[in-house]
Amino acid sequence: MNPELSPNVNEHLQAVEEAASSEALLHATRSLVSLCAQLEPHSNDQQAAILCLLELLGTNNPGAAVAAVDGLIACGNAAVEPLLHNLDEHNYGARAWAVRALASIGDPRGLPVLERAVATDIGPSVRRAAARGLGNLQLEQLLAAERPRIVERCLRGLALGCADGEWVVRYAAVVGLEGFLPQASAAGIPGAIAKEGRSLLEQRALTSEEDTPVVYLRAQQALENLSGAR
């Protein structure tokens, strides 16, 4: 028991630590995740919960890992630095779950991890999450002077996603571009970036360029949505 933590948090952490079966671990993790939403941001209680959730990413229990990702996402930006500092390059499963969490949180500090994942990860599901995440970054958190460089990096990553050999990654990149382009416009990024992003969508919308119907239809929908939002 940690005297610096509240009794309720200590109890939930102990339940995770002492879980004697996969079912018990899943139940304890879900209970801890439910508690996370009630914790004060950046408090000792929240940080302890985040570290426990990070450890769960490396367990051989997919259900608990999925729940832990949900908990990290619920903690938002407070989970980003712990995620980045505890990336386990030797544990593929834990790293893959961490990419999913960072992609959903959308904090720009996660950009290098998402770039690396969409470019080099062996798992299509991880590249897919990274592509979605590149379109989900909260550009408004950046200083105005930083935005052009970060937006350019996001676009390069989304271009890689659009050219990926797996259709699920290309689909995610299309969805990412649809979310990214309005954000880039609102951030005051030069029109050349928007033009290049739309060009990537237009390529995916052509049946001569894209042979998977669900991808080119989604690209066509994205272009229609973006035109309607003008």
Domain spans in the chain, listed from the N-terminal domain onward: 1-103, 106-230
In one-letter notation, the amino acid at residue 223 is L
For residues 86 and 78, what is the distance between their CA atoms, to the nearest angstrom?
14
Contacts of 24 (CB under 8 A, 6+ apart): none
What pLDDT does 12 receive?
Answer: 95
Nearest alpha carbon to residue 119 among 109, 134, 106, 108: 134
Q: Which pTM value belongs to this model?
A: 0.90
For residues 83 and 95, what is the distance between their CA atoms, to the nearest angstrom?
9
**CA distance from start to end of the chain:** 56
What pLDDT does 130 receive?
Answer: 96
For residues 178 and 210, what is the distance between their CA atoms, to the nearest angstrom?
17
Nearest alpha carbon to residue 129 among 161, 159, 82, 163: 161
What pLDDT does 192 receive?
Answer: 82
What pLDDT does 230 receive?
Answer: 57
Nearest alpha carbon to residue 29 among 51, 12, 50: 12
What pLDDT does 229 receive?
Answer: 59
| Domain at 106-230, CATH class | mainly alpha
- The alpha carbon dihedral of 86, 92, 93, 98 has a sign of positive
Residues of the chain with pLDDT below 50 are none
Residues 19, 54: contact at Cβ < 8 Å? Answer: no
DSSP 8-state secondary structure symbol assigned to residue 5:
S
Query: Residue 55, class by beta-carbon neighbours within 10 Å (0-12 exposed, 13-18 middle, 19+ buried)?
Result: middle
What pLDDT does 127 receive?
Answer: 96
Residues 206, 190: contact at Cβ < 8 Å? Answer: no
Residue tagged 């028991």 (tokens)? 1
